Structure formats: C-alpha cells, structure tokens
A and B are shown apart, each in its own frame.
Chain A
C-alpha cells in the first residue's frame, strides 16, 4: 500500500487519540499494588489475606492494628480476597513483582509460592523471635527447603468432629483417644441408617493424606517427589475410597464442591467428619446438636495425622522487609492471637494462647484430644506443584470415591499428570 500524506495524517490522528486516551487514563490509575515504602520503623504496609465478609475483615484489621500499637510509625492495611480465589490472586500479584509486603500463607500451598517469598531466618535472628513459643509442627510446616518463609498464627492437627446426639441414639460409645480403625468402622456402620451416614468424606488433600497416613503410614511425598503410586499409599487410599464406594458408610461426593462435607455434617446427615481445630468454634455456632471431637482412629501403627496451619510472610518485592517483619511479629504476638482465640477464629499457633481457645471452645475433651493429635502429627510438607496435585486429587479422587474408576488408577493418573506439568 502506498502511504499518502493524507493517509499518514489520518493514522497520526488516530494514534494521537489513543495516546491521549492512555495518558488521561494513566493519571488516575497508578495504584496497582503498593510494595510499601519507608524505613524499618516507619512504613505503610499492605497485607493481602483471605477474608470472608465484613465481620472477618474487622477481626483481622484488629490484628493488623497491633503493628501500629507496637510501632507507631508502621501501619498495616488489610486487603482481602475470598478464600477460594485467594491463591490465584496472590500468584499473579507475586508474579507481577508488585505484591503487597505481607502475604497470608497456608502451609499446604507454601511450596508453590516460596520462591517469591523472602526467607525470614536472618530477620528472626535480628529481631529475636522466639521460635520455641510456637507450636513446632506448624513452625516446620511453614518452612521451604529448610528456611522459614512465614510465621504462623494458627495451627492444628486434623481430628474427627462427631455428632454426639447421633452416637447416643445409635447406642455407640463416644470415641476416645486411642480408638482403633475397627472400632471406627463398626461405629460408622451402626450410624449409617435412615438416610444418614456414619461419615462424610472429601477428595481434598488434607482429608486424603491424613486418612492414608493413619491407615498405612504412607505419605504423599518421598524425598520431595510425589509418591502417590507407592503401594502403601495406594492401599491406604483404596481403603479410604471404599468408605464411599463399597462400605457405603459415607455418601457419594459431588464434584468441585468444597463445602459439601461441612454442609452434610452440620445439617446432621452424617455423624462424623474429619476437620481441623480452626473450624471447631465456627461449627459449634452452626450446629443444633452436641458436638464432640476425637483423634483420627488408630491404624496398625497408632493414630497418625497431619498438621496444617497458616501464617504471614513477606514478598520478595517488599521494599521495607524490616518494617514488614516487625509488623508480622506484632501480628503473631500473644495479644492478637489470644484475641483471635477468644473469638474462636483460629486455634492459635502460640502455646501461651491455647488456654483461651480451650475456654472458648467449651468442649471438655478438646484439650486432651488436640494435644494427643498434635503429638501424633507431622506437618504436611508439600511440593512446588501442590496446587496442581490438589486440583487433580479433587478431580480424580471424586471419581475414585464414587466408584467410577479404581482408586489405583486415579492415583496413577494424578501422578502422571502432576509430573508432566510443574
């Protein structure tokens, strides 16, 4: 095509209009995630966290305000995303290099994001954070490659929640620490009656791995590599899937519905559920029956479970890591954790705050059960592609539980798929 002056001018006009538009627009924008600025003692920080509504926002903002109370030059602004979409959100934030300074981090997802997070060990030494004040399993759970990536605020071993009223009605004795798998299965069978089931399951990572660990002692990773096709893991998973597919002591599961398990338990349709202490007080408020808790039943080597928990870390792009670390120290100090515990929001990661939580929980056996479970638990350390592994586990696990494909085939598919893309 020939470029005539008139033509060129037309294009210039058009291009000019685009530029003008961009320029006008750009003045008003420019607020795309601040990385914080200032010094060690004076900084305005942003904190990205999972939030479920106004009440949640207010409770966590109080935690953030503790930083300002301790260091008058530091303010922390809370920025929230709902739990389900939080992880894709921080992925893009961290990737863009403009992530907020403080990032909420859960132990299971830590490995996927660790490379964009600042190792905290030097700062811990510099500011004298006492690691022994925290629960050890969760402190370990928030490490990647041996380096501390986040400081925990909550922790908890997976335990069984059960419906005391249904147990009583079926004439089943309340489970005690040390109860065996045989006792569990007998109880679940007896409780499965009249449209109700003894248990409700989920194909998600914590549920599957905790049951497998107590059933056969197998763990999902070996030497940092995914190890789902290991015979012991397959055996454990098969037994777990059989709860639904052959024993029918648990209902069929819908796909992609993370709250089905909780709905089923709280509405009294299933008598038992595996859950973490972080949900206990919330569940207490929802249910109309007497709620009890028990450790996961003991397999051949005793009751074994996993611990998960969450904490706060610092993004690599943060310009004031010192201020951010001081803020995190304040946010995980005894006072805010005790306040959170009293409000029932989290089973605190600090030992000193435990009594407050047990008082709030109002379940007499809670202390004994959780301490027992904690002693028998290890942190669930995950791999870099864990987000993908969990996605695959949920997909193909659903099919395995519902009896559409054999459990060993499901695990093989997951192992193959997760291996191919990381």
Chain B
C-alpha cells in the first residue's frame, strides 16, 4: 500500500469519526423520539427504550394541531420565498443591467439595510402591523421579511457575470428589458435562484421570534416552531413527542435541499459566494 493510499484510508476513517460525533445529537433526538415518556431520563443512557414507540410520531401530531402548523409554515415559507425571489430578481436586474441615476448610491443603501438587525425592527414593526390591522395574519408572517437586500445582492452578483452580448443581441432584436429579463436572464439564473430559494425557505421555515410576537391564535395561525414550543408546558416538557415533531419538522427543508443540491453548489459558485 502506498503512503498516498494509506493517507486516504486514514483520512476517510477520521472523517467517519467526525461524522459520528457530529451525528450524535441527531441520533439522540431520533432515539428519544422513539422512547416512552418515562424513559427519557434514565440513570444510564440507553439508545433504545423498552420499546420502539412509533406511536409518538402520531401522538405528536395530535398533541397539538401539527397538521395545521405544517400547512401554515409551508404556506408562509413558499409564499415568502416566491415574493423574495420575484422582488430580488427584479431589483437585482435593475442594479446589474439598467443604467439610471443614483444607482450606486441606492445600491449602497440597499446593502446598508443588511446590517439592520431584525430585533431593532420588531418594536416598531409590531406597531406598524397593528396600524395596518395585520396582527395575527398571514400578511404579517410573510411580508415584513420578504424584501431583503440579501437576495438582491446575491442575484446581482450573478447577473453581472452574464455576458452583456447575450442581452444586447436580444435588445437589437427588439426585446425590451422586460422580455430580456424574463426570457434570458431568469432562465440563466436558475442556479442562483436555487441558492436564494433554499436560504430564504430555511429562514422562513425556522423563524421563531417574529411569529412568537405576532401570532395570537396559535391553534389557527401557528407555525411549526411555535408548535414545538408548545411541548414545553407548565407541567414539564414532553421530550419524546417534541423530538418526534422536531424530526418531522426537518423533512421539508431536507427534501428541498436534496432536490436542489446540484443547482445549489453550482449556484454558490456562480453567485460569487464560493469564489468570485
């Protein structure tokens, strides 16, 4: 065996070890999700309880209206992502391709908003929602965070890399900016849009602080993270059910990432997040 091969074997073994350590908490979550309630805390840790209680998954779903929470979260995350992608791709196109006065200043202002922490905004945002009559509504869950400079920045970086000739040719053929945007730029931008979609969807899906503040009727407008918080009760935490619900809460995002994985890595390359 050459030293190169030996190195490769050692490297793989080590990697697997790292992966196992990393996986520990996840495995423990799965194992807890399958235990009976009174075996979550035992003097000696066990991977499995006295039985594999798959029933926990069904119980978690009925403990709180999780079906409703999943639908709400999906609706909010999908709509929110759509708005983000539409608005950001349009403004990114303007910043990358259209010439107008004050463009650079405006772009700097856009980037500046990236630094405003969400938490600075929540106090006035709550009053804003109240005066719009949006408290406890889907509008409030979606719109306040659907206009981010992050998406604009990301897609602009991509649009800048598209050779200008492509578009100029189209324009000579009589294509206005709208058509060239829709027909040429957007299809080319698929990988970059995949990146934005994944990141936006994840942040909507996991969002906790804002729904906590703006949702009054959890049973009606609650999202998955708020549902998870319900397992922490006055009389103690339902650990096994909570872990079962947490694992189910991963499924949509994991599916999305697995589906978009090829685009995602390419997208990271072309948007300049990975390299230039």
Which A residues are closer than 8 A to B by beta carbons?
Answer: 7, 22, 25-26, 28-33, 48, 50-55, 57, 79-85, 88-89, 92-93, 96, 98, 100, 195, 259, 262-263, 266-267, 269, 279, 282-283, 286, 288
Contacts and interface: CB of A to CB of B under 8 A. Distances in A.
Contacts of A263: 41, 236-237
Contacts, number: 109
B126 interface: yes
Contacts of A29: 132-134, 137, 139-140
B41 A82 contact: no
A28 B126 contact: no
B17 interface: no
Interface residues of B, number: 39
Contacts of B41: 263, 267, 269
Given A57-B219, A79-B216, A85-B212, A262 B132 contact: no
Nearest to B41: A267
A55 B229 CA distance: 16
Contact of B133 (A26, A52, A85): A26
10 contacts: A25-B143, A29-B134, A32-B129, A33-B216, A53-B233, A54-B62, A79-B219, A81-B216, A89-B216, A286-B236
Given A79-B216, A92-B213, A28 B235 contact: no
A82 B62 contact: no
Interface of B: 37-38, 41-43, 62-65, 101, 126, 129-130, 132-140, 143, 212-213, 216-220, 226, 229-230, 232-237
B218 A32 contact: no
B252 to A, nearest CB: 22
A85 B62 contact: no
A32 B235 contact: no
Contact of A52 (B136, B138, B213, B234): B234
A29 B134 CA distance: 5
Contacts of A79: 216-217, 219-220
A53 B63 contact: yes
B219 A51 contact: yes
Contact of B230 (A52, A88, A98, A283): A52
Nearest to B238: A53
Given A51-B218, A89-B216, A266-B236, A195 B136 contact: no
B254 to A, nearest CB: 26
B232 A32 contact: no
A54 to B, nearest CB: 6
